[in-house]
Each structure stands twice: as structure tokens, then as C-alpha cells.
Amino acid sequence: MEQVRGVLNYLEEMAEKPVTYTYEPPPGVAARSGRTVKHEVEVTDGRAIANQLSLDVEGFVLTPHVSAVRDFYDADEVKRVYYPEMERLVRESTGAARVVVFDHNVRNGSKEMRAKLGVREPVRFAHNDYTLKSGPQRVRELCGDAQAERLLKHRYVFINVWRPIRGPVEQSPLAICDARSVRQEDFIATDLVYRDRVGEVYSVRYNPAHRWFYFSRMRPDEALLLKCFDSDGSRARYTAHSAFEETTAKPDAAPRESIEARTIAFFAPDGN
């Protein structure tokens, strides 16, 4: 399998709980607390073993998928067309009784285009989107206490579906860490502060045992499913992930444009 060298940003362990703001914080407050430490790591191109990967073992899979969306920067079209597509894709990939898409983010590596389109930049920081605390908390927030109590008695899985919306990807590809190579102790619970609520994610401390993968030159007709939380601890539970820069990347590489859809797969017998 081919490998590249890439730089990943990890969080150095700290005494107090780290905090990350999703918006411009108050004056004098850092958008992200704690000290970021850069590590150059080997990132393996997973294309040679793509058909051997599993959501329940490594925690991520690559699958062909053609979307009918014409403009991923049109939020209404994404919700109308892409959300049902992703619900079908995740349901077929997992066998879940029901899948709900509850959010999405479009990202652009160009600062000029971000300002013009009002979208976010790629996240260049090793993290996982949910924790042992925020997984069930998010189900309650989205479904309401009564329905959530029924759903939480059965298995549920948060899965992000990531794809480029222009390709092939030349800059800031997504690296995913093999779930088998990450220990629970490698995760650092971090408050994620929104304007109206506080969530919790995992930042990641460096461990040389981490095995990182990516898929070279991903195209818009490919989708990457990565598991961000599984209530069943006997399976792959989290996949730390981050955009990264190859040490030999071309200086004129096209900025990455991508979308991630956030889904929950419910395994309750009736999905309710």
C-alpha cells in the first residue's frame, strides 16, 4: 500500500477541560484553548484495501455513490435531495431500521470563496465528533426525551458521510484513524460551544500507534462513511479524523471543496 507523509495537529494534554468555539468568541478569548502540537505521520492510501474495510472493524468505508444534487452550496437543495440520498445510503450500508440526517457542513479550502459563500474551512485538527456523554445527549436533543428513551434502549450509531463536491481532491484530504489503533485514553473530552448550546467532542492526544488512512484523489462520485459514535462498545466506536497536508503537496493544488452529512442510524426494531 502506498503511503504519504502528512502533518496532523494533535492537542497536548492540559489540566483544565479544553474549549472550542464554533463562532467568534468574546474579545481576549481564544477560539480553541490548549496547545496544538504538530506531528508528521505516515498516512496510508486505503484504495488498495477499500473492499476489505468495515464500519464495525476499522470504522470507515469508501463506497461509490452518485448524487443528483446540482449545487451543494444551495442548502435547500441539499436538504431536499441529498438528505434522502444519504439516509438511503447509510441504511443500506448498515442495515439500520431508520436513518436520520440532521445536519450538514459544506467546506472550502479557499478563504476568498468561504467569505463569498459563507461556508467553513476544512478542520485541520484531529478530533471525533461525539463522546460517551454527547452521543446520547444529542439523541435527546434531536428526538425529545420520550422518544429518545425508547431509542436509547437499542443500538444507535452516528455516521458522517463525507465527499468532495469538486474533484479530484488535491489539497487537504481527509485522514481517518483506524479505530483499532486508538485507545479511549487517547481522547480528550472538549467542550464545543455554540451560541445556543454546549456540546462535547473528543480532541486527540498523540500516540505513535495511531494508524492513519486516506483515499487519494477522491472524486464527487465517491462517498466516505466514518463512524463517530457507536452505542455498542464491542464494535469500532470512534474514528478520529482530520484534514491534513501532504508534505509533498503541490503549491498550486486546487482548494478542497467538500460536504459532510451527519446522520444517526437507529437499530430499534421499528426505528422509533
Contact indicator for 4, 248 with CB cutoff of 8 Å? yes
Tell me the domain boundaries of the chain: 3-266
Distance CA 258, CA 119 (A): 10
Q: What is the predicted pLDDT for the residue at 271?
A: 65
CATH architecture assigned to 3-266 = Sandwich (2.60)
Q: What is the predicted pLDDT for the residue at 13?
A: 87
Least confident of 49-58, 63-72, 224-233, 262-271: 262-271
Whether the pLDDT of residue 272 is over 80: the answer is no
> What is the rounded average pLDDT for all residues in the chain?
95
Q: 3-class DSSP state for residue 23?
A: coil
Number of other residues whose CB lies within 10 A of the CB of residue 183: 10
Distance CA 91, CA 194 (A): 29
On the 0-12 / 13-18 / 19+ scale of CB atoms within 10 A, 224 is buried
> Average pLDDT, stretch 200-217?
97
Q: What is the predicted pLDDT for the residue at 251?
A: 86
pLDDT category, 270, cuts 50, 70, 90? confident
> Average pLDDT, stretch 257-262?
98
Residues 14-52: tens digit of each pLDDT: 999 999 998 888 898 888 999 999 999 999 999 999 999
Residues 119-137: tens digit of each pLDDT: 999 999 999 999 999 999 9
Residues 86-120: tens digit of each pLDDT: 999 999 999 999 999 999 999 999 999 999 999 99
Whether the pLDDT of residue 1 is over 90: the answer is no
DSSP H helical ranges for the chain:
75-77, 83-94, 111-117, 134-143, 145-151
* DSSP-derived secondary structure for 45-73: EGGGGGGG--TTTTSEEEEE-----S-TT
